[in-house]
Amino acid sequence: MHESVWAYVRRNPNLLIGLVLLSVLLLFSIVGPLFVDVTNAEPLSVSPEKPPSLAYPFGTDSQGRDLLAVMVAGTPLTLRIGFLAGLLGLAVGTALGFVSAYYGGVADNVIRGIIDVSLTIPGLLVLIVVAVFLKQGLTVDQMALIVALLAWRWPARTIRAQVLSMRERTWVQVARLSGRSGLKIIFLELMPNLLPFLAAALVGAVASAILASIGLEALGLGPADSPTLGMTIYWVIYYAALLHGYWWWWLPPIAIITILFVGLFNLASGLDEIANPRLRKSV
């Protein structure tokens, strides 16, 4: 058993790398609050603009936040935005994909048109228009909802393509001939076979959502009172931390964002490998 797991991981190292990197971040956000006082992530709680020291290993920012506390409090917030938006996007996208591909006809034409048009719109700009009007007093969950507005597009497209290819397979036809209802076929026959695709689509949706949320936040269109990673980047730009040489202010959020995206990217390729064994690379 151990042998085979090890053998699989050796063939699909991306999966392992992705899982390890993301677990490190999760662990950081779960264990962190036990050692760090997260109330110091609020402005004016410590003396400002101090380089890293024993008391504050990541230093402090211009508004008097302890940056280690900011990272410990902010990483789970950013993950939360990504995960909520990704889940919502996947749910809506999967529903659209199923209806479109399984029932076909007019519904398919309309839904496919919507997907195609929405995919050519640069997402960040649409989200900017939406967020501009909700600017004041956004919460983290509202941020997730905004980002989720466009998170359904790629899941809808990939799930539709998968269902289309699966719909006419013999085992689905047998189920249909034996009198199973459409919903039962969708949930009992098609869904289980789509699980790896759904997982890969979820990871992709989460990554896009996080990317979009950080972009919006860096423009100042985020939850100004929450210490998310993107808001930290916004404050870095706002206070010109770079030109003051406060390297400890921008290095941690950029490092965490990099780990996060590299982890998600590896996880997505690892899941892709499970979902599409035929894609297996020869290199």
- Residue ranges binding other proteins (CB under 8 A): 113, 116-117, 120-126, 128-130, 132-135, 154, 157-158, 161, 200, 203-204, 207-208, 211, 214-215, 218-221, 233, 236-237, 242-243, 245, 247, 250, 254, 257-258, 261-262, 264-265, 268, 272, 281-283
Q: Residue holding tokens 């960040």? A: 124
For 15, the 3-state DSSP assignment is helix
**Nearer to other proteins among residue 20 and residue 254 (C-beta):** 254
**Nearer to other proteins among residue 112 and residue 176 (C-beta):** 112
* Rg of the chain over all Cα atoms, to the nearest angstrom: 22
**Nearer to other proteins among residue 36 and residue 271 (C-beta):** 271
State the nearest-atom distance from the C-beta of 242 to other proteins, in Å: 5
Closest CA to 207 of 259, 275, 277: 259
> Residue 79 in contact with residue 88, Cβ under 8 Å?
no
Q: How far apart are CA 135 and CA 71, in angstroms?
A: 23
State the nearest-atom distance from the C-beta of 185 to other proteins, in Å: 23
User: Element (H or E) spanning 189, and its range?
Assistant: none
**Residue 167 C-alpha from the chain's centroid:** 29
**Nearer to other proteins among residue 189 and residue 273 (C-beta):** 273
